[in-house]
Amino acid sequence: MTKISIVMPVFNSEIYLREAIESLRVQTFKDFELICVNDGSTDSSLEILNEFNKKYNNFIKIISTENQGAGAARNYGFQFVQGQTTIFLDSDDYFYPNFLQEMYKKYTETKADIVVCQYYISKLGKLIPEPKGINTNMLPNPCKLIFNKYDIPDYIFNFTNYAVRNKLYSTEFLKKHNIQFENVPSGNDVLFSLLSLFYAEKITTLLSPLVVYKAQNKNSISSKGTELLDMYKFETFEKLKKIVLASPENKIFEISLYNVYLANILRCLNRTKGKMRLKYLDCIKNNFKTITSKTEIYNLINYYKLFFIKILPGWLYVLLYYKVINYLTKNFGIKPSKILKRISKVKN
């Protein structure tokens, strides 16, 4: 049996695809299969994949479909997986030569359902550690090699973000729980990642950054948030809530659940602009009771954002936060949380 299966959706990735594929070809770990799902690309992506296969003896298993989105492409590619473990990678990222070796080594040492590593963000030519890749402050204390939701009930959905690029999964585990990606315009990995963390009996981490996420890729789905009104995120978290809170004993996970709900709703707000942003603010107001069901919020600034979203008209909140506060932060280095805290005291 192949040890690692890599599923990679490919859509109009010609600018970055060669580097991504080459970084996998030169991995120190060789016992893997690469399944590329060409999701209806209209650029030269398919030609690049065929070029690699011609040069390197059918190095890639290429599957072509009509354009359905990354979520559907990942689910379709998973049907062809033959590996003991599975990794879902993006066609515009870069992977360090020891990425697969270190991830699989950790898996064999722990037999974990999920192995999570740290990663970098590449922005304007600089590599920046992604603090949300693994938040070490939320890991079990004392640090355990293997843990699950019962070890960190307040943080199980928050110690890592929902990106899948830095996670290796047991293939048997994914099939057992029938965990699939949503077929939505963006954020198709949100429910997949959070459900996998919830169902996992064994989770382990690697604190070494082994992947580089190219944040500057303007063709990436995740870069097009300003064109999308992510109303479906409310639906996604309602699905998660229904599953997590199906049993009374699972109430211990409520704080983590609502904090990840809140963080992602506010993240979507930041990715919208103009009339779309005002419309999304109205949507937050309409779902306010659901979002704020729990009082403990990890990130203080999120608390103040919610406070002002609740009491201010949408246009005034946009003016306050995205104009005035951004100006003060950029020009005088004042932290947004301090500004919002001071104003909230006046309001109270």
- Domain borders along the chain are 4-219, 226-347
Q: What is the mean pLDDT of residues 152-165?
A: 94
3-state secondary structure of 120: strand
Q: Rounded to whole angstroms, what are the CA distances from 289 to 41, 167, 286, 299, 341? A: 42, 33, 8, 18, 21
Single out the residue of 16, 172, 173 nearest to residue 90, CA to CA: 16
Torsion of CA 142, 148, 152, 153, to 10 degrees: -160
**Token pair of 122, please?**
């590449």
Single out the residue of 215, 145, 228, 134 nearest to residue 186, CA to CA: 228
Only one residue has tokens 């707000």, namely 269
pLDDT tier at 225, thresholds 50, 70, 90 = very low
User: Is residue 24's pLDDT more than 70?
Assistant: yes
pLDDT in tens, 86-142: 999 999 999 999 999 999 999 999 999 999 999 999 887 888 888 889 999 999 987
Give the whole-number percent of the chain exceeding pLDDT 90. 58
Per DSSP, the residues of 130-141 read -TTT--GGGS-S
Q: How far apart are CA 21 and CA 94, in angstroms?
A: 8
User: Is residue 226's pLDDT more than 70?
Assistant: no
Stronger pLDDT, 275 or 145, i.e. the higher one: 145
Q: How far apart are CA 82 and CA 294, in angstroms?
A: 42
pLDDT in tens, 283-314: 788 776 666 655 455 666 777 788 788 888 98
Q: What is the pLDDT of residue 214?
A: 84
Give the whole-number percent of the chain exceeding pLDDT 70. 86
| CATH (one of 3.40.50.880, 3.40.309.10, 3.40.980.10, 3.90.550.10) for 4-219 | 3.90.550.10
Single out the residue of 199, 202, 156, 201 nearest to residue 179, CA to CA: 199
Write the DSSP symbol of residue 144.
P
Q: What is the pLDDT of residue 307?
A: 79
**Does pTM surpass 0.75?**
yes
Mean pLDDT of the chain: 87
Q: What is the pLDDT of residue 347?
A: 52
- Overall size of the chain counted in residues: 348
Q: What is the mean pLDDT of residues 53-70?
A: 95
Stronger pLDDT, 341 or 79, i.e. the higher one: 79
Describe the crossing of helices 190-199 and 232-244 by its angle, rounded to 10 degrees.
10
